A and B are shown apart, each in its own frame.
Chain A
Amino acid sequence: MGYTQGHSIYAALGQTGVQKFLHNVYSARPHYFNYASAGLGGGSVDIGLLPALPIPGSSSGIDFSLQFTEPVLSFFPAPTFPKLGPPVKDQFGLAITATICLVTGMQSLSPRVRDLYRRSKRALDTPTLQCADIKVLAVGGLTTQDSGTDKLIGLWAQAVDVSGTGNLDPLIAFILHQALNSLLAKLQFSVNNIAQGAFAIRLEDGPNIDGQQLEIWAGII
């Protein structure tokens, strides 16, 4: 039967291809991966704005930042993820590190935030930061959404596990699960992107994840 399985077109993006896409997104749109309150440069072109953490009983807040590293993607079949198990067919695994920093005084910024901060050309303070890295593992599947005559394919985290926050793990996992899906929702791409514009196609089957590839079967429009 071969690749096409009775359809005119089979198209697939390999795990390495999607990883290169994620890398390019990470480089071109840093504000998808870097967030901070105004005191830490949030609200610039490259740093998304977060409100300062409110202090109960006080009208002031604590400046903080949240940074994600470049996600590392693995399509089924993929290694087992602790607690989450291995991604099964039509699932992906994703590993990412989130770094949360709180301003606790005046000190040097982390190198990446400092770099982005300078790019925003704001006055550079040197707050003291208390940072913590949180290892985030996620297992998820694919979403499809109509977009005119086209369809958009996206990744969606179904379960998230974090480590390094002790008893707060479930709470942090919940927050980062929402943040991760918010990020992934911005990374939807067109079915026709998978065919690389060689011809216009209409999705007939898929998308599936198998053999470390995201696969679709399509007819020619």
Chain B
Amino acid sequence: MSDATIAISEAGMTTLLQRAIDGPLAAHGSGAWGPFIADYDVSLRISGGIVQFPDPSLPPGPVVRLSEVVVQGTVVGSIGLDLARVLPQLCIPPFQVCVPIDFWGDQVCTPQYCVTWPTISIQIPVIVPPIGVSLDFAILPPYQDGDVWRVDLGAYPFSLNFDLTPSINAILDKAKQVVHDILGQIPLIGDLIDGLVDTVINGLKAVINTILGAIHDFIEALIRLVDVFSPTIHFHAFKLSANQKILPAGGPGDREVDLIIAALAAQVTTDKELLLTTDFA
């Protein structure tokens, strides 16, 4: 039997991890993700989260699963989108009729205007809609770091998971606004804009997976900026002072009484509790 035991329920771990991750994330950076080019200032809010302990009797693997973390906020900066990579060619009218007018091959054609899709670069805040994020962790062997013992969680690198499907409409609405603004600059087609936007959006839907994939990669890069989601930065779940002060120093003769933690172990039990056991020197 160990000298001391601490057990933490899934609900308790949920409370502790929620507190640890709840807060803002501010960062600046740039990069390219598919058709997107972003130079961004990130302001994200991380909140929520539920901890589950998968059945520890399963083969060795993740023992702490964090799900339903909500990431939302804004990315302010220059977002470039190469529309030609995702939108169909659009000409008004769709067909052009040409008639030869002389022996040398000169011809006259009916008017046609084709949209040349630009790479748009917009200086706007992009709303990152609430995204549910989940991630699996391993409990790393506790270790003494100076005057504290630490229990760290290490994220499984490829376990980060979030679903952008609920966000498709928000993304399409944003794209619709951008396309509307682009088309609105073209003369003589003002009355056709609504129909054209629908045409463009339908084309956009055809390649939405590509778009979502790029946005997914972009948002994943942003989420990885949060320590707890980083596969390279271990998340400090707990720290225990190696020198436990049980009775503080008092008057003459009342010297401080301590217990020194000599060993600390952590494991998840079959009852789905995180168990910390301590031995004192």
> Which segment of A18-26, A81-89, A167-175 sits at the interface?
A18-26
Task: Give A28 to B9 CA distance when docked, in angstroms.
Answer: 36
- Return B250 CB to nearest CB of chain A, in Å: 9
Contacts of B15 in A (CB 8 A): 8, 220
Interface residues in A27-45 (C-beta closer than 8 Å to B)? 28-31, 45
Known A3-B275, A220-B12; contact A9-B257, beta-carbon cutoff 8 A: no
Closest B residue to A193 by CB, please name it: B246
Known A20-B280, A189-B246, A198-B6; contact A3-B273, beta-carbon cutoff 8 A: yes
Q: Could you tell me if A2 and B272 are in contact, using CB atoms closer than 8 angstroms?
A: yes
Q: Tell me, yes or no, whether A54 is within 8 Å of chain B by CB.
A: no
Q: Could you tell me if A8 and B9 are in contact, using CB atoms closer than 8 angstroms?
A: yes
Contacts of B246 in A (CB 8 A): 21, 24, 189, 193
Q: Tell me, yes or no, whether B182 is within 8 Å of chain A by CB.
A: no
Q: Tell me, yes or no, whether B278 is within 8 Å of chain A by CB.
A: yes
Q: Could you tell me if A3 and B271 are in contact, using CB atoms closer than 8 angstroms?
A: yes
Which of the four size classes fits the interface of chain B? 35 or more
Interface residues in A1-24 (C-beta closer than 8 Å to B)? 1-4, 6-17, 20-21, 24
Q: Could you tell me if A10 and B5 are in contact, using CB atoms closer than 8 angstroms?
A: yes
Q: Could you tell me if B3 and A14 are in contact, using CB atoms closer than 8 angstroms?
A: yes
- Return B6 CB to nearest CB of chain A, in Å: 5
Closest A residue to B255 by CB, please name it: A28
Interface residues in A189-210 (C-beta closer than 8 Å to B)? 189, 193-199
Q: Tell me, yes or no, whether A212 is within 8 Å of chain B by CB.
A: yes
Task: Give A75 to B256 CA distance when docked, in angstroms.
Answer: 25
Instruction: Select one of A7, A10, A30 contacting B6, CB under 8 A.
Output: A10
Instruction: Select one of B5, B12, B257, B261 contacting A21, CB under 8 A.
Output: B257
Q: Could you tell me if A11 and B4 are in contact, using CB atoms closer than 8 angstroms?
A: yes
Most chain-B Cβ atoms within 10 A of its Cβ — which of A17, A30, A187, A195?
A: A17
Contacts of B272 in A (CB 8 A): 2
Q: Tell me, yes or no, whether B238 is within 8 Å of chain A by CB.
A: yes
Q: Could you tell me if A24 and B6 are in contact, using CB atoms closer than 8 angstroms?
A: no
Q: Tell me, yes or no, whether B219 is within 8 Å of chain A by CB.
A: no
Q: Could you tell me if A2 and B16 are in contact, using CB atoms closer than 8 angstroms?
A: no
- Return B7 CB to nearest CB of chain A, in Å: 4
Task: Give A198 to B236 CA distance when docked, in angstroms.
Answer: 11
- Return B204 CB to nearest CB of chain A, in Å: 47
Q: Tell me, yes or no, whether A63 is within 8 Å of chain B by CB.
A: no
Closest B residue to A8 by CB, please name it: B12
Q: Could you tell me if B257 and A29 are in contact, using CB atoms closer than 8 angstroms?
A: yes
Task: Give A7 to B271 CA distance when docked, in angstroms.
Answer: 13
- Return B4 CB to nearest CB of chain A, in Å: 5
Task: Give A46 to B246 CA distance when docked, in angstroms.
Answer: 20
Task: Give A170 to B11 CA distance when docked, in angstroms.
Answer: 52
Q: Tell me, yes or no, whether A213 is within 8 Å of chain B by CB.
A: yes
Q: A24-B258, A196-B240 are in contact. List 13 more A-B contacts (CB 8 A).
A: A2-B269, A2-B272, A2-B273, A3-B273, A9-B12, A12-B5, A13-B3, A17-B3, A29-B255, A196-B261, A198-B238, A212-B1, A213-B5
Considering the complex of A and B, which 3 residue pairs feature the smallest CB-CB distances, nearest first?
Answer: A2-B271, A8-B12, A17-B3
